[in-house]
A and B are shown apart, each in its own frame.
Chain A
Amino acid sequence: MREIDPVREPSEALLSSALHRLATAGDRNAPPELGASLMERFRHHHRRRRHMRLAVAAAVAGCVLGLAAFAGMLRPVHTADKKTPVHTPEEAPAIAPAVRASSAPGSEPKRHWTEQRRTITGATQAANDEGFVPLPSYDPASASSDLQMVRVEVTGSELRMLGARVAGDLSDRPVMADFITDRDGTPYAVRLVQ
């Protein structure tokens, strides 16, 4: 800004002085209520954004879990397909024999179960002793310690879809079975009740 000489330019000096007075005459700040209102809007906006982010994260997690569950359901089918030549209804041991075999020392299911014993919880160990057969969806690395047992009536074909070895004559017959499942419903092991 250039300096104004009040002697040589009195009108300029007086105008500057008057403008200065005008600048200091009015309100210097926005009303405090405006600040409070904006602060509240800021909080509201970011609260909503946080909720949106949580909802999106939950949706994504749900999709991932759903896909994982779906993949888990598909995996036994593929396994069964691959092993079809070995486990034809005539040759493959039915689930009932498998349950029986699990109590026999040295049998294949028992060995499989025993290999995983290092990581499985006390609950599943106890379950193994009671004749449960592990399902392909059982993953020792990700299995939680919070397991539950549920008894449901299923058909042999449904059991086969879960990856259990089921004799062909059981395909359409409803059978009672005990499942050991995770809290999210993932089945880890099964045994036939009847």
Chain B
Amino acid sequence: MEEIFKFAQWIVGAEVPGKTMAELARDDQELLRQLSKGNEAAFKSLYERYQGPIYRFALHMSGNSATAEEATQEVFMHLINNARGYDAGKGTVAGYLFGIARNITRRAVKDSRCEQALEGEEIESNEFAMAEELDVLGDLTNGELLAALRSAVLGLPQQYREAVVLCDLEELSYQQAAALLGCSPGTVASRLHRGRGILKKKLSYQKCVR
């Protein structure tokens, strides 16, 4: 139950405290219905509810505030132009919006760099053997090390990065992340584990991890 409240608060901030996921989903659907009729207040509510999570997700996924802004804008432009495109039978409004944000971010990242993920894949192949030896993490208090961590997150393969961003940076549970990513909680857990292993490996190369 605590997780449900946390998820609701993650999405709505502090404005609608105490709403369960089911209530939130129904509320979102009603807002979307009103939005499609031209209700400005409904659009404002949905925007205020989702702009932060979508912006942060895109920012962590791309490492670029311009891309994050563009993704946020595209998601809401899609809502404006095609509010009836949402099918309640296929998932929640949150999942729908994150799906759009994921696609836009993927495209933007793909366009902006030549698959740094390949580097991550190489590390992944022997990550477990080495991760066992990396028992001590160095002090990550200064900005330099945070920058290294940010860079390491950006270097993760797409699917691991999504798991790390949602579960570690946005602090969602496996179930909540799975709902947004459209996969099983077990898959999220597995991706997160591998993603964290790659992160530690990358940081160890940069002397962040001893």
Q: Which residues of A contact B (CB under 8 A)?
A: 1, 9-23, 25-31, 34-35, 37-39, 41-43, 45-46, 49-50
Contact = CB atoms under 8 A, between A and B. Distances in A.
A49 B209 CA distance: 57
Q: Report, as a range, how many residues of chain B touch the other chain.
A: 35 or more
B72 interface: yes
A15 B43 contact: no
Contacts of B44: 39
Contact of A18 (B47, B65, B145): B145
Given A15-B200, A38-B47, A49 B146 contact: no
A42 B43 CA distance: 8
Contacts, number: 106
Question: Per DSSP, are chain B's interface residues mostly helix, strand or loop, or mixed?
Answer: helix
Interface in B182-203: 196, 199-200, 203
B169 A23 contact: yes
B26 interface: no
A34 B77 contact: no
Interface in B40-66: 40, 43-44, 47-48, 51-52, 54-56, 59-60, 65
A76 to B, nearest CB: 45
Interface string B161-192: 00010011111011000000000000000000
A102 B167 CA distance: 92
B140 A17 contact: yes
Nearest to B72: A30
Contacts of B77: 38, 41
Contact of A19 (B43, B52, B56, B168): B168
Given A18-B149, A21-B140, A38-B80, A26 B59 contact: yes
Contacts of A23: 56, 60, 168-171
B196 A12 contact: yes
5 contacts: A11-B134, A18-B145, A26-B56, A45-B81, A49-B38
Interface centre among A9, A18, A39 (most CB of B within 10 A): A18
A23 B200 CA distance: 17
Given A1-B167, A38-B80, A11 B51 contact: no
